[in-house]
Amino acid sequence: MKRLLILIAAGLVLALPASSSAATTTVKIVPGAFTPANVTVAAGDAVAWTNTTAGVHQIVSDDGNFVSSTLKPGGSYSYAFKAAGKYSYHDGLHPAIKGSVTVTGPPPEVTLGAGSPLVIYGGSTTVSGKVSSGDANEPVIITARPSGAATVQQVATVMTGADGTFSHAVNPSIETTYTAAWKTATSPSVTVQVRPKVTVTRLSSVRFLAKVTSSISYAGHFVYLQRHSAAGWITVKKLSLGPQSGRLFKAPHIRGTRTYRVYLSIDQAGDGYVDSWSNSVRVHYRR
């Protein structure tokens, strides 16, 4: 019985289909042509070019995705295609000789996200993502469109890491929308909002300087002086800002210790900015 079970198990193993592996399609370099000139492969498969002529040749992708060394007679070059699409190429030493590889399968995809969707003016965040092939050393183009801009700006070309991921630090000065492009794919856009920088500087025990900073002037705008209470922050005074986007002020005379901040509402922040507030300060009046 034991011998019978062993024979049955062996038969089942032999009956199992062989594990799938990447296939290779061969293209011959003949005098004046590639044979076949146009091939179709699945994503993950490879194409191998073999030089059957008496001269030298070089395989060069039209878009720079792959390039071989100079192939001497009998030499060969192989490249595995990870992403779907059509890849045109030519002979770098004989440009009139051309061919193409059509790769079937899911189209290339690229993702993008922001480490923080909101920064304070002058601060930075990181946009990061991944390409669907998972390959390293793939160029990804990062573009940005600041609020109010008519055109998109290319801000960086980054290379993917070992698992196809990439990242880039950005420092938006106004609300900015970012995208990533890889091969024929474009990521969903990611918007990073910006708060103007609002500061309160102590000049004496009860006198302060409020200042707002961004890429625009806040002269003529106003901010609110707020006091912290059990119910939250309550507005106690409206302060108009001067030519340097600042305002000197004195804390209200209230006996005891109070905590204040300056608040900039969204309607005063300006286009491309959201509301913001300053650091808090403590004021103490003995009587």
State the CATH number of the domain containing residue 54: 2.60.40.420
| Number of domains observed in the structure of the chain | 3
Assess contact for 200 and 261: CB atoms under 8 A.
yes
Q: Do residues 153 and 223 share a domain?
A: no
CATH number of the domain where residue 214 is located: 2.60.40.10
Domain around 43: 19-104
**Residue 280 domain-assigned?**
yes
Q: Is the pLDDT of residue 221 over 50?
A: yes
Q: Both 176 and 216 in a single domain?
A: no
- Pick the last residue of a domain from 104, 135, 154: 104
Prior bond of 107 cis (ω within 30°): no
Residues 6 or more apart whose CB falls under 8 angstroms from that of 184 comprise 85, 107, 108
Q: Are strands 256-264 and 222-229 parallel, antiparallel or unpaired?
A: antiparallel
Q: Are residues 202 and 213 in the same domain?
A: yes
pLDDT tens by residue, 57-68: 999 999 888 999
pLDDT digits (tens, 9 = 90+) for 119-156: 999 999 999 999 998 989 999 999 999 999 999 999 99
Mean pLDDT on 30-53: 96
Percent of the chain with pLDDT over 70: 93
Residues 25, 71 within the same domain? yes
Are residues 187 and 206 part of one domain? no
What is the structure's pLDDT at 116? 96
- 98 and 127: one domain? no
Q: Is the pLDDT of residue 13 over 50?
A: no
Is 86 within the bounds of a domain?
Answer: yes
Q: Give the pLDDT mean for 40-64.
A: 95
Q: What is the token pair recorded at 7?
A: 């024979």
- Say if residue 4's pLDDT is above 60: no
CA 68-71-77 angle, 5° bins: 50
181 plus 254 within the same structural domain = no
**What is the pLDDT, as a whole number, of residue 121?**
98
Using alpha carbons, list the distances in angstroms from residue 97 to 88, 120, 256.
11, 55, 88
- Six-digit token string for 38: 């146009």
Within a domain: 11 = no
Residue 4 domain-assigned (yes or no):
no
Higher per-residue confidence, 5 vs 202? 202
Residue 6 within a domain? no
12 in any annotated domain: no
Question: Of 81-85, 132-136, 220-224, which has the strongest mean pLDDT?
Answer: 220-224
Shared domain check, 241 and 190: no
- Residue 268's alpha-carbon distances to 147, 185, 195, 224, in angstroms, are 16, 39, 12, 10
CA–CA gap between residue 105 and residue 92 (Å, rounded): 28
Which has the minimum average pLDDT: 17-21, 102-106, 179-183?
A: 17-21
Question: Residue 168 burial (CB < 10 Å; 0-12/13-18/19+)?
Answer: middle
In a domain, 252, yes or no: yes
Residues 169 and 124: beta-carbon distance below 8 Å: yes
Q: Which of 275, 280, 285 is nearest to 226 (CA)?
A: 280
Domain edge (last residue) among 104, 137, 172:
104
A 10 A CB-CB count for 235 gives 11
95: left (phi over 0), alpha (psi -120 to 50) or beta: alpha
pTM value? Answer: 0.71
Residues 262, 200 share a domain: yes
- Candidates 110, 86, 111, 283; CA nearest to 200 is 283
Q: Is residue 7 part of a domain?
A: no
Residues 189 and 201 in one domain: no
Q: How confident is the model at residue 234 (pLDDT cuts 50, 70, 90)?
A: very high
Please give the mean pLDDT across all residues of the chain.
92
**Where does a domain end: 164, 194, 224?**
194
Residue 176 sits in the same domain as residue 126: yes
